[in-house]
Structure 1
Amino acid sequence: MHNQEIKQLIEAADDAINKEDFEGLMEFYSADAVLVVRPGVIAKGKAQIRTAFAAIAEFVNHNLTVKQGNMCILEAGDTAMVLSRTLLDVGQKTDADHHSIERKATYVFKRDSDNRWRCIIDNSYGAELLDAAEQEI
């Protein structure tokens, strides 16, 4: 339940986010990946995902640190699901808005034709999406 290769990919992606290296970050994703920007808002494909990360950086005043806590990685063939405690240290418009957030994220990876793992679904909100969907009903 612990794929070291995927764990290292996630750590490298977090590092790219922290450094605002969004071009480098796109290597982490498949061409048709989906990113949950927030409940009810998704980005599809690398161009939209890159734009979303740039907008998030701007929104948090270029003060975002992402890291992972405990992870559980479940693999079946060329697909893997990662459950992770994602830790966000966020600074927004003013220092008074600075805070830390812990999310129970869900990521889905698939091996591509080059035998490299790529993220196909990036959902840092995890099952919280269910709560948002229930509020829409």
Structure 2
Amino acid sequence: MDALTQTLRQIIESADRAITAQNYDALMEFYAEDASLVVKPGLIVTGKASIRRAFIAIAEHFNHSIVVTQGKMQVIPGGDIALVVMETLLHATDNTGAELEITRRATYVFRQVAEKWLCVVDNSYGTALLDADVEV
């Protein structure tokens, strides 16, 4: 694994731990000020305050049970930008008490700002956004 891939994997895994722990202060360190998050198909929020509110709503939707982990990963660098294509694994309990296991092929765009890599686009749905029946 090259240095950039290793760095971005560590950043994403740290963000996953913050999501699981519902530590939104730590999570916001992951994002650029002008970042966008795909909350669900048709709903994109921009800016740290909106992203924070979205993650709180996502935690509530999953009864504060969401655990996020990552699988396979590919990084495509270009200057101070990197595209990350990554398998994202979500484990949660829905509002009926049913256990959920969702696997997505996420896409993230990172920008290097002052020697730090920050997420500018967080799309856990990846290209599945093009499908009409994406799982939420």
Query: TM (normalized to structure 2)?
Result: 0.92
Residue 60 (structure 1) aligns with: 62
Q: Which of 80, 83, 97 does residue 82 from structure 2 map onto?
A: 80
Higher helix share: 1
1:1-137 to 2 correspondences below 5 Å: 2=2, 3-95=5-97, 97-112=98-113, 114-132=114-132
For residues 40-88 of structure 1, give each alpha carbon's deviation from its aligned partner in whole angstroms, at most 9, with x where no partner exists.
0011000000000000101110000000000001111100000001000
Shift, 1:94, TM fit: 2.7
- Look up the SS of the partner of 1:63 in the other structure: coil
Structure 2 counterpart of 1:8, which letter?
Q
- Say what the alpha-carbon RMSD is for the aligned residues: 1.4
- Look up the SS of the partner of 2:29 in the other structure: helix
Structure 2 counterpart of 1:11, which letter?
E
CA distance in 2, matches of 1:82, 1:28: 14
- Look up the SS of the partner of 1:16 in the other structure: helix
- List gaps (5 residues or longer) in structure 1: 133-137
Residue 135 (structure 1) aligns with: none
Structure 1 counterpart of 2:104, which letter?
R
For residues 109-129 of structure 1, give each alpha carbon's deviation from its aligned partner in whole angstroms, at most 9, with x where no partner exists.
0001x2100000000000011
Moved over 6 A (4+): none
CA distance in 1, matches of 2:21, 2:42: 27
> What percent identity do the matched residue pairs reach?
50
CA distance in 1, matches of 2:107, 2:92: 20
Corresponding pairs, count = 131
